[in-house]
Structure 1
Amino acid sequence: MPHTLSSPLPLESKLVERVWGGTRLIPEGGDHSKPIGEAWVIGEDNHVSGGPHAGQTLAELTKQFPAELLGTRASSTRFPLLIKLLDCADWLSVQVHPDDAQARMLEGEGHLGKTEAWQVLEADTGAQIIAGIKPDTTQDDLSEAILDGKVMDHVAYTPVQAGNTFMIPAGTVHALGPGVFLYEVQQTSDLTYRIYDWDRPAAAGRTLHLEKSAEVSRPWPAPAAALPPAGDAVQELTRCGYFLLERLNSKGSKLTGDTAGQTFHVLTVTVGEAQVEAGGETRRLGQFESLLLPAAVGTYQLSGNFQMLRSSLPD
């Protein structure tokens, strides 16, 4: 087994069946009778699909090569992000995520909160999301409404279109609506408290978590639906203390990136296709394919005609 980690890591996506899922994420020739809601494309449970580390999970590699994989900006030796693609044919549950302190308090040591950001890739006409709470709703109003099953009287709806960026901090009441296909970057946590599930059966693990939801929900207003113009070659879409999300537009020109030993880069092509030259290797990425570049990769070249999302750790 190699003792270094300085080349790209292709990872196998993990497809997750969801009652609200659609068909966009089903592989060609796959079973269309089972709705696929999520593709977990980069996360600590994903397996490396090729190269000298094939078969290992990202969690195992992070333990073996924390500095080379994560870089100097990392605050722990656990892979800190989870990247997903979500295909919503129906409403997701109205839900909320705790922050780090609340996760430890409610679930125990070792649990992390979940702040996330969404980049809308496709949206049907009239598509919308729930994010945030109507103005003039107090904390007591919100907590009482959650416990009484009346949270829908207070939620804020926002129309969405392709290109919108939303930051969803822990504590934000939210739900994705039908006809939305998006990229999500989040903390490496799947801790979700359901508040309302559109009267779907509570079977199959879809129970509500009203007391915990009331504990962690905050009456924050709807987040701004940022829609930056697709002009610059590298655009910052959003950032927080956990991640930086950028959009790269090649326009047929070569772009150069540099992990600089500071952070890994997760590359996901959203339009077109790209060729990635990194760590002495060349890899082609098609639409909606992803690649993880460890922090030790250093400089790399991107060519082709593409739009790409890049997630990394913030400085």
Structure 2
Amino acid sequence: MKFLNKRMTIILLLVLVCTFATISVSQDFKSKEVNLPTIAQHTTSNTISDLLIYDIHYSIKTLDLLGETYNFSELSSKIRQLDVKAYLSGQNSLYNLWLLSEMNKQVNTKPKDINSISDYILNLQSPNGYFPSYSGERINNKLNYLSSTKMVIDICSYYDINPDFERLEQWIQEISLTLSNTGSKEDFLSFGGYTASLKQIDDYYYKKTGKHSVDANVYKNMLDKLKYKYSTMENSIEKYDTALNLEQHFGAKIFKIDKRALQDYMKRAQLQNGSFPMFGNQGEDSLSTFIAINVLKSLQLKIPKELELKSHLKQVLNESLVSIKN
């Protein structure tokens, strides 16, 4: 259980920072963005287990970056038949729904029961405007609500659900000041992730209402702090992804990225089968592998062990798809 909790904490942090690529999956199914794991524990006739979705989702994304395409008609059919309500209970319910929505984007489909999704989201919004990870959640660090609220706007954008924008605006203004004043205590990954999430939430609000809630000077203060944190943080796949993600959302060159140092680091971190481990762990991870390849491709750097990685990802994907059929 401790391992699962640690894994979930790392994954939720990565939700904040990834991803900035626009990706087409195949000739039949297209996605514009993609992301993570935690639904039913086992695959049944009307559910797919969290780890299967996680591995399928990121294996597809990475293979697409590498120029490989697949026809996922069976996967699309399975997703359309999923029991949405089975994903809406427990402390990981929002994360489950977000992952399911990302998988829907990936194969360009939507579940039949969108009303249950809408009801769940609208009931989840707190009186203060933010969205917790589950109903009744109470956390000490209010900045963590940026992660859950960012997941909600991803869901709302795809299913065209409109939350209470007046309450959302008030919270955006409050949390932006909190982040600017106290978030500097966080490391680059956390502070950068929070800042990127805030910008995405603010941009979503602007798209819906025609106005921004966060003052430009507040963002400038955050970015100045982030430049220093970036320069003092040890290298990692997530560090480079966070930096590129921030640059993408702010539309500006912010950080000095030493491409040679980055590529040297990637070669050291990469496993024999071409995959990459999650930050702070030894074993391979589908999301971290996608992030690493995405960073390399974005900076037009050579991908080491590309053939080995393609072979490995195809094996992971094929085994996962077989599990869904059974």
TM-score, normalised with respect to structure 2: 0.27
Q: Which has the higher strand share?
A: 1
TM-score by length of 1: 0.27
Higher helix share: 2
